[in-house]
Amino acid sequence: MKIVMAAAECVPFVKTGGLADVMGALPKELVALGHEVLVILPNYSLIPEEYKNEFSLKEEVEVPFKGGSTSCKLFEYELQGVHYMLVENEGYFARNQIYSQPDDGERFAFFNRAVLAVVESLKEGVDILHIHDWHTAMIPFLLKEDARYASLKGKLKTILTIHNLQFQGWFPKSLLLEELEMNESYFNSDAVSRNGNLNFLKSGILHADKVTTVSPAYRNEILTEQYGEKLDSLLREREPDLIGILNGLDTEVYNPAADMAIEMVYDQTSIENKAVNKRAVQSRFGLPERGDVPLLTMISRLAGQKGIDVLQQTLPGILKTQDVQFVLLGSGESQYEQFFRELAAEFPKKVVAHIGFDESLAHLLYAGADIFLMPSHFEPCGLSQLVSMRYGTVPVANKTGGLKDTIAEYDLILRSGNGFLSDFSKQESFAEAMNRALSLYHQPEHWKTIKQNGMQGDYSWSRSAKEYANVYERLAGK
C-alpha cells in the first residue's frame, strides 16, 4: 500500500516529545513490511543543517489559503527507505520553537491545506492518509467537506492517531471562516466546534475514517468522563472505530549493547557492566560513588500530567528516611523546576536537579540508574518506561494508560513482573510502590531477576506496525 503520514514533528529532524519518536520509528517498520511510506512535515528553520543540506527541491505546489493561493516549495529526502516531503513557508515555520506561537492556529491550518496539496500532486494514488494529533486533524474534515478535493474524496481513507487528548487545538471561529475559507454552517452544526471555538481535534475525531490511540488502556480510559477531556461522549459515539495500538520503541536508538552515549555497553549477559554507568552518573554530578545505594532518576517534561505533585509529597520523606540518590533531567512549569532546585539544595549529597534536556545525558541516566520514576496521573503510552526496562532500570509507575499495558508488578513467588505499580484510582500510594522497589533492591537475587525480566521484553515497533498495517488493509479493502 501507499501510505502518507503527516505530523508536526519527527525524529531525526525535530523533536519536542513522543510524537516525534513515533514518526521516526513507525514509518521505518511499515517500509520493512513492504509498504511505501511518505511522511509530510513542515520545513522548520530549526531542522539541523546536516539534514537541510541533503534536502532536494522537488517542486512547488499551490496551497489555497486565506481567500487566495500561496505557492510553497517542497523538499524531498529519503532515510532508511522512508520518503520525506518538507513543506516550506518561512512566514510560518522559520521560528525559534515549534509550538506556543501566537499564530499556531493559522500556521497549522496552512499545514493542513498544504498536506492535501501535496497528496493531490502525487502521481500515484494514495491508499491511506494517516494524521497525528491536533496539528493535522482538520484534514479529514477538509477532505470530506471541501469540493475542491472531489478527486480524492472516497478514494483516500484517513486515520487519526491521538497521542494526547489533552491537547486539542482550540482557536477562534474566524480561523474556520477566513483562513480555511469554510462555511459558517459547519460551525453552527457543531461539526468542528466546542464551546464557541474551533476545535481541531474534535473535527478530526468526527471526520476521520478510523481513530487510534497509542495504547489499548488509554483507548478505554478516554471513553470515560475522568480521562475524556470533555470529548468522551463523542468518543463513545465513535467507539466501534476507536482502536488502541501500543507504541513501540526504536530499538536501534535505544540499545544498551551498542549505545555510544553511555559509559560502557552491556546486554542481559553482561548486565554487571551497568554498574560502570552508575558510577559515571555519580561522578558526573558529584554524588558519592557507591554501588550499594539505589540511584533513582526521572526524565520528564515537568507538568501536572506527569505527577510531579506526587513526588512533592513522597520524595522528601524518602530522602530523609532512606539511603538513596536521585537525579532529575527535565524542564517545564516553573513551580516544579523550583521544587527540584530546592530539593537539591536541601539534600546536596543525594539529589541533583538538571533543569533542561540533554539526549546523551538521558541515555546515560537510563543506563546508570537503578529505578525510574513515573508517577503520571495519566499517560497515553509512555516511552520512558520502555527505555528504562530495555536498559535494565526498574520502573516504578502509576497504573494508567500505557504504563498499565507495559509494566507488571513483580511477584516474589513466581519471579514474574518487571516493575512496581501504584494505583491512584484505588488509593494505592506511589510511596508504597517505591518502598516495595527499594526493599527488593537490597535482595540481589530478586533485583537481578526484575532487571532481566524487563530487558527480555519485546518493545520493538514490529508488532505495533503489523497492527497498524492490518487496520490500513481492512480500511482500504485490501
The cell 546515560 sits on which residue? 364
* The model's pTM: 0.94
450 sits in which H/E element: helix 444-455
CA distance linking residue 108 with residue 350, whole number of Å? 44
In order along its 478 residues, the chain shows pLDDT tens digits of 999 999 999 999 999 888 999 999 999 999 999 999 999 999 999 999 999 999 999 999 999 999 999 999 999 999 999 999 999 999 999 999 999 999 999 999 999 999 999 999 997 889 999 999 999 999 999 999 999 999 898 789 999 999 999 999 999 999 998 999 998 888 777 778 877 889 999 999 999 999 999 999 999 999 999 999 999 999 999 999 999 999 999 898 999 999 999 999 999 999 999 999 999 999 999 999 999 999 999 999 999 999 999 999 999 999 999 999 999 999 999 999 999 999 999 999 999 999 998 999 999 999 999 999 999 999 999 999 999 999 999 999 999 999 999 999 999 999 999 999 999 988 889 999 999 999 999 999 999 999 999 999 999 999 999 999 999 999 998 7
CA distance linking residue 316 with residue 339, whole number of Å? 11
CA distance linking residue 78 with residue 70, whole number of Å? 26
CA distance linking residue 258 with residue 255, whole number of Å? 6
The set of cell numbers assigned to 202 is 474534535
| CATH topology classification for 268-458 | Rossmann fold (3.40.50)
Residue 144, annotated as binding a ligand: no
CA nearest neighbour of 171 among 185, 158, 187: 187
CB crowding 432-453: b at 16 or more within 10 Å, else e: ebbbbbbebbeeeeebebbbeb
| DSSP-derived 3-state class of residue 58 | strand
Q: Answer yes or no: CATH 3.40.50.300 is held by domain 2-248+462-476.
A: no
Domain ranges, ordered by start, for the chain: 2-248+462-476, 268-458
CA distance linking residue 187 with residue 191, whole number of Å? 6
What phi, psi does 76 have (nearest 5°)? -105, 155
The set of cell numbers assigned to 99 is 509550538
| Cβ proximity of 145 and 182 under 8 Å | yes
Amino acid (1-letter code) at residue 16:
T
